[in-house]
Amino acid sequence: MRILVISDIHANYTAFDTVLGHCQGEWEFVWCLGDVVGYGPDPNECVDRLKTLPQLCLAGNHDWAALDRLDVRTFNPDARRAAEWTRETLTEENTRFLEALPVTFVIGDYTLVHASPREPIWEYILEPMVAALNFPHFETPYCFVGHTHQPVIYKMQESEGNAASESPHYDEPYALNGERQIINPGSIGQPRDQNPDAAYGILDISNGVFEHRRVPYDIRSVQRRMYDYNLPERLITRLEHGL
């Protein structure tokens, strides 16, 4: 069984469609780690496409913002404006789809969350120390997270109670080896690791192998739609810088 592992589509249909084309025929099921909407111009198109796939999807903080489940005053003004636009734009049916998303899911050797095992909606795992604090909060060998929009692998170091981070080696199969790990596939629709290409991963469960991938997409066409909908300038320009 091969899984397409994706996160943080952020209403960027062009990036989502490009990723699905890039790995066509390479997977049987999709794990989506949340933030399907927010920031980007295509919330309904992204939810509609996701619904056609065999998938399991989790809730992210931007999905909750679009549902009015959290106080958007905690967002910066640009993110807040995009969240309000998203809420008004989502169809009734797609709002109901987002409402039904779980916050965590455990399947076999894998725990899935949007942000972190101990704070599934909110916490950013941006450094090994924070990763180390999260290992006691899940029981499976492996945990997939999104939220930071930065692809990475954190490994638990049992002897020191610490964790080490490893940058992804794109297009190279990475053996999971049974060591406890927290893996972030990166973001499809708004990468923030100074690489504007859409990020995703392919997990081969039978062989215990994960592969990080990147693929360029037509950023300009997404930016044009964002201008058309009057979305905040900073959200438009950041796409081309991967920030």
Contact set with Zn ion (CB under 5 A): 8, 35
Q: Which of residues 6 and 143 has its CB atom nearest to Zn ion in the complex?
A: 6
Q: Shortest distance, CB of residue 46 to Zn ion, whole angstroms?
A: 13
Report the alpha-carbon distance of residue 169 to residue 171 in Å, rounded.
Answer: 7
Q: Shortest distance, CB of residue 9 to Zn ion, whole angstroms?
A: 9
Q: Shortest distance, CB of residue 26 to Zn ion, whole angstroms?
A: 24
Residue whose CB is nearest to Zn ion in the complex, by number: 35
Q: Shortest distance, CB of residue 184 to Zn ion, whole angstroms?
A: 11
Q: Which of residues 8 and 193 has its CB atom nearest to Zn ion in the complex?
A: 8
Q: Shortest distance, CB of residue 54 to Zn ion, whole angstroms?
A: 23
Q: Which of residues 35 and 211 has its CB atom nearest to Zn ion in the complex?
A: 35
Q: Which of residues 63 and 176 has its CB atom nearest to Zn ion in the complex?
A: 63
Q: Which of residues 60 and 168 has its CB atom nearest to Zn ion in the complex?
A: 60
